Amino acid sequence: MDKKYVDYMVEQAQKLLAIHSPTGYNQEVQQYLREELGRIGYPETTGPRRGGVACCLGGEGDPITLTAHADTLGAMVRAIKDNGTLMITPIGGLNPNNAETSNVEIITKFNGSYSGTIQVENASTHVNPHVNDPRSFDENIEVVIDEDVHSVEDVLALGIETGDFVCLDPRTVVTKSGYIKSRFLDDKACCAILLAYAKYVKDEKVQLPRQVWVQFSVYEEIGTGGATLIPRDAHDIIAVDMGCVGELQAGTERKVSLCAKDSKGPYSYELLKELALACKENGVDYAVDTYYRYGSDVEGSLVAGYDARHMTMGPGVYASHGYERTHISALEQTFQCIRFYLEK
């Protein structure tokens, strides 16, 4: 694979990860995606009122949509506590156990943003004998604001209110050995892959044998990302999303994972076989797995009434919904799987 596209994928992953985009807070990441698509040669993008970005890469007939989601886990202010800390409600599957000690940005509606940290209540080990009690957003997890606040009134004076977004620092690191560590690789790593494929098609003047759309949704983490934006005549919809890595899974952080079944049921068996064959014939390192605690945008599209074959595939990611890790080679294998399948 040409190194310039590998470098571009990693660069775009880092840029996207630096943009806060918990589900519902999508303006900044949408603007970036529209601008980047324009820079690489696709000035015409579409997007529904509820959010998201879509772009046609070219080709005619038999439309296929590749969708990745730009929204992430996060939180929202649920209440201001009497001592000036914030009670938060999670957005998506944010886990209180691995969210603790995360640095955050609190984005207010009208007064800018403030920094803070997610902590357990009374977090000092030397004064709290219950510091190791089970964590719960409903009971003992709070945000400590990095301002001199000690009451509800102090916090309100800053302009922080219920319903303000709380965005976690992704802590992105790319190691010399090629590992990418960050929150929200699910699914910004795949957004970067789709941008790289779009750039490849434009730069190399690829003649696509069918009409290809890329879509970046912004409501996947709550299950409705694939409900809009996909062309109604799409024959196939492929969610390019993280592959699960863990016990009893064949996928690894260096492979592209093809999902045969998730928590809702089987994906298209015919489409699975076609993707697997494209990998086998072209030396792409892949694994096939089932995910019993997983859902994707293609399920949202089916519920919304799209009549299309559906599938999920993507780079293997370890520690999903936590401090995640993948390897650059998994991004490469996913890119190559998409390339060889679409250009066969």
Check whether 147 has a pLDDT greater than 90: yes
Identify the pLDDT of residue 48.
84
181 φ, ψ (degrees, to nearest 5): -115, 130
Check whether 83 has a pLDDT greater than 90: yes
- The DSSP code sequence of 197-223 is HHHHHHHTT---SS-EEEEEES-GGGT
Check whether 344 has a pLDDT greater than 90: no
Residue pLDDT, tens place only, 14-68: 999 999 999 999 999 999 999 999 999 999 999 888 899 999 999 999 999 999 9
- Which two tokens mark 166? 């709380």
Q: Which tops the pLDDT comparison, 47 or 328?
A: 328
Check whether 6 has a pLDDT greater than 90: yes
Identify the pLDDT of residue 338.
98
Question: Half-sphere exposure of residue 3, counting CA atoms within 13 Å on the CB side?
Answer: 0
Identify the pLDDT of residue 280.
98
Distance CA 183, CA 92 (A): 14
- Which two tokens mark 249? 């899974």
What mean pLDDT, rounded, does the chain reach?
Answer: 97
Distance CA 330, CA 326 (A): 7
Segments making up each domain of the chain, as ranges? 3-72+184-342, 74-168
Check whether 220 has a pLDDT greater than 90: yes
Check whether 317 has a pLDDT greater than 90: yes
Which residues 6+ apart lie within 8 Å of 79 measured at CB?
Answer: 86, 87, 162
What letter does residue 57 receive in the DSSP assignment? Answer: E
Check whether 228 has a pLDDT greater than 90: no
Helix (H, G, I), strand (E, B) or coil at 96: helix
Residue pLDDT, tens place only, 85-106: 999 999 999 999 999 999 999 9
Q: Which tops the pLDDT comparison, 308 or 48?
A: 308
Distance CA 257, CA 106 (A): 35
Number of other CB atoms surrounding residue 146 within 10 Å: 13
Identify the pLDDT of residue 35.
98
Amino acid making up residue 181: K
Using 50, 70 and 90 to split pLDDT, how confident is the model at 229?
A: confident
Euclidean distance between the first and final Cα of the chain, in Å? 17
Identify the pLDDT of residue 123.
97
Place of tokens 């016990």: 247
Helix or strand holding residue 302 (H, E): helix 297-303
Helix (H, G, I), strand (E, B) or coil at 47: coil
Identify the pLDDT of residue 55.
96
Identify the pLDDT of residue 332.
98
Using 50, 70 and 90 to split pLDDT, how confident is the model at 141?
A: very high
- The DSSP code sequence of 137-202 is TTTTEEEEESSS--SHHHHHHHT--TT-EEEE----EE-TTSEEEETTHHHHHHHHHHHHHHHHHH
How many residues are there in the chain? 344
Using 50, 70 and 90 to split pLDDT, how confident is the model at 199?
A: very high
The architecture of the domain spanning 74-168 is Beta Barrel (2.40)
What pTM was estimated for this model as a whole?
0.97
Closest to 322 (Cα-Cα) out of 213, 227, 186: 186
In the chain, the percentage of residues whose pLDDT exceeds 70 is 100
Closest to 255 (Cα-Cα) out of 293, 215, 283: 283
Q: Which tops the pLDDT comparison, 49 or 314?
A: 314
307-319 mean pLDDT: 97
Helix (H, G, I), strand (E, B) or coil at 58: strand
Closest to 51 (Cα-Cα) out of 184, 199, 215: 215
For residue 80, what are the β-bridge partners?
A: 86
Active site residues: 220
221-241 mean pLDDT: 93
Identify the pLDDT of residue 190.
98
Please state which CATH number belongs to domain 3-72+184-342: 3.40.630.10
